[in-house]
Chains A and B, each alone.
Chain A
């Protein structure tokens, strides 16, 4: 079974056209299995990626590329209830999670 999500990378082009991720601190809300995270994280200073789905976070951690291990932190959490530090992020990324 072969599946490819957006191999044309239309989403990647759009997010980098809208946001300059260079050296930013990013909060990603609703990261799922990290599919979107991998498309920008290498340019950031740090990413805190949240999702309430523990299975999805487990998948994301398992597929975290080695070069990003010190950049990306995945956490099982819901933005409406988790404590995040105030005024700590340059960018928040939401994908179908508001």
Chain B
């Protein structure tokens, strides 16, 4: 809520807040190979990820209740990360997504479908929430 109050103060009256929020609790793992896309499962969200989403939505609702902002539009869209190999995906997770656990069976299936030197990719799809809020 403190961040939203600072943002409110920084905006001119009539200004707009664009808020983008990934729903990391619903990230699908797919492998694309040979022209086919195979869904392997989901990544398990960390408890912290789930808590962060709840905290953010609660803060937004509090700001709306306090009439700091008026919700004008909201939508959802899919954001897809593409990795050319299973190893490049794992390297990215190790560097940028500490705490994300990948089920052993899912990883084994990915490696089976996309062995090294095979043309294809790993796709991680995440649903994003986007909202436009107006500052009175």
Chain A interface (Cβ < 8 Å from any Cβ of B): 1-8, 10-11, 13-15, 17-19, 27, 29, 36, 79-80, 84-98
Min CB–CB distance B123 → chain A (angstroms): 10
Q: Is B4 an interface residue (CB 8 A)?
A: yes
Interchain CA distance A84-B7 in the complex, whole Å: 9
Interchain CA distance A85-B9 in the complex, whole Å: 8
Which residue of chain A lies nearest to B91 when distances are taken between CB atoms in the complex?
A1
Asked if B130 contacts A96 (CB within 8 A), the reply is no
Asked if A18 contacts B75 (CB within 8 A), the reply is yes
Interchain CA distance A67-B19 in the complex, whole Å: 26
Interface residues of B: mostly helix, strand, loop or mixed?
strand
* Interface window among B36-44, B80-88, B99-107: B80-88
Interchain CA distance A15-B73 in the complex, whole Å: 11
Within B6-21, which residues are at the interface with A (CB < 8 Å)?
6-7, 9-13, 15-21
Classify chain B: how many residues form its interface, as a range: 35 or more
Instruction: Give the chain A neighbours of B17 by CB distance below 8 A.
Output: 91-92, 94
Task: Please name 17 further chain A to chain B contacts, defined as beta carbons within 8 Å, in addition to the given A1-B85, A1-B87, A5-B82, sorted by A numbering.
Answer: A1-B84, A10-B78, A14-B130, A18-B130, A36-B20, A84-B10, A87-B10, A89-B10, A90-B12, A90-B15, A92-B11, A94-B7, A94-B19, A94-B20, A96-B20, A96-B56, A98-B56
Instruction: Give the chain B neighbours of A79 by CB distance below 8 A.
Output: 3, 6-7
Min CB–CB distance A75 → chain B (angstroms): 13
Asked if A89 contacts B82 (CB within 8 A), the reply is no
